[in-house]
């Protein structure tokens, strides 16, 4: 890697090889395992991260969430999801 990844609606986010997503029954939540770190995701972040599979663009991902959670304005979902994934990208746990 030589440049900071900046996500936009056309990005196709995915987890890098060193970050492993799984559901943890003991803690009853989705977690990302990464070197020396465990990210415990809340219910909403868990929903989002399951769509981060290297096939969907961020725009498609937001569309799916907007359909599922139709009370929330799409613009709000896009802002929150982008911020969440950019935060993970800056820590090296999401790539595109």
Partner 1 sequence: MTDQAEAPANAQTECTAATGNSESRNRLIPYAVLCELTHRCPLQCPYCSNPIELERASREIDTDTWKSVLSQAVDMGILQAHFSGGEPTVRKDLEEMVEHASKAGLYTNLITSGVLLTPARLDRLREAGLDHVQVSFQDTESENADRIAGFRGHAKKQEAARMVRAADLPLTVNAVMHRQNLHHLEAMIAMAVELDAERLEVAQVQYYGWALKNRQAFLPTRDQLDEATRIVEEARVRLKGILAIDYVVPDYYARRPKSCMGGWGRQFLNITPAGKVLPCHAAESLDFLEFENVTERPLAWIWEHSSAFNRFRGTDWMPEPCRSCDRREIDWGGCRCQAFALTGDPDTTDPACEFAPQRHVLEMPIGEAGGEIPEFVYRRIGNG
Give the footprint of partner 1 on residues 34-73 (CB under 8 A). Answer: 34-42, 44-45, 48
Instruction: Report yes or no: 18 and 34 within 8 Å, Cβ to Cβ.
Output: yes
> Mask of contacts with partner 1, 10-39, x by CB under 8 A?
------xxx-x-x-xxxxxx-x-xxxxxxx
CB of 4 to partner 1, least distance (A): 3
- Transcribe 49-83 into DSSP letters: HHT-SSSS-HHHHHHHHHHHTTTS-HHHHHHHHHH
How far from the centroid of its chain's Cα atoms is residue 24's Cα? Answer: 17
Binding site for partner 1 (CB under 8 A): 1-5, 16-18, 20, 22, 24-29, 31, 33-42, 44-45, 48, 80-81, 84, 87, 89-92
């Amino acid at each position: 890697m030589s440049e900071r990844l900046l996500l936009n609606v056309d990005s196709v986010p995915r987890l890098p090889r060193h970050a492993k997503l799984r559901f943890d029954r003991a803690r009853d939540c989705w977690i990302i395992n990464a070197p020396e770190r465990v990210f415990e995701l809340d219910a909403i972040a868990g929903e989002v991260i399951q769509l981060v599979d290297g096939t969907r663009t961020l725009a498609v991902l937001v569309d799916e969430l907007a359909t599922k959670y139709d009370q929330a304005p799409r613009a709000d979902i896009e802002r929150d999801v982008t911020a969440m994934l950019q935060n993970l990208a800056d820590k090296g746990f999401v790539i595109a």
